[in-house]
Amino acid sequence: MPDLPTSKPVLAGKIVLRSETIRLEALPEGHLLHVMGATTSEEITTHLLAVGLKESSVRPAGYRQWFVVGNEQLAQSQRQALANALSGRAFICDQSHGRIRILVSGPDAARMLNKGTALDLYPSSFPEGCSAMTLFGHISVQLTRTGMNDFELTVLRSFAESLYEELEALTRSHGAERLAL
């Protein structure tokens, strides 16, 4: 029987860049669930807590659509427990294998990201917890503000390397260098 292909993180080996004002890093390929249906983010959050997913966050992804993201990989039993909890109200589609998350943080993060997207990233217009589907250059991403100076970009797996390389160039233009391990 031939060996089955092994899963390799798409951004494995990508370096973390940082300066005093900016940081770029690939996040773990944990989980990303696409939830669709007649529910609310509050209801999803309640069900996440009930099935033991306290570290996951819920992000709007369109009309009656949300992404549930986290750094840990989920067991089939956890996904099934969430699907059962939302049964009759929403459906879940596991997108963990198809989307990659990248973190851009630091005081210059918003200014740097504005070089690639048309979103107004001022905190009054795009506060912490806000999420939007947008383009970064020619690549479609979901951009989420996860902290005052922290942004997470979620991108389709096939575009992850290209996006990361664009972000590397922008980060280096802000004086960032390879993080010493």
What pLDDT score does 133 carry?
A: 93
Q: How far is CA 155 from the centre of its chain?
A: 7
Is the pTM for the entire model greater than 0.95?
no
pLDDT at residue number 176: 84
What pLDDT does residue 12 have?
A: 82
Q: 37-46 burial, b for 16+ CB within 10 Å, e for fewer?
A: bebeeebbbe
Q: What local confidence, expressed as pLDDT, does residue 180 receive?
A: 58
pLDDT value for 181 = 53
CATH class entry, domain 17-28+98-178: alpha beta
Could you say which architecture CATH assigns to the domain 31-94?
2-Layer Sandwich (3.30)
Question: Alpha carbon of 109 to those of 2, 161, 176: distances in Å?
Answer: 46, 19, 12
Q: Where are the domains of the chain?
A: 17-28+98-178, 31-94
pLDDT at residue 175 in the model: 86
27 closest CA partner among 60, 55, 5: 55
DSSP label at residue 12: T
Spans of the chain below 50 pLDDT: none
Contact present, 137 and 116 (Cβ < 8 Å): yes
Q: What is the pLDDT of residue 13?
A: 82
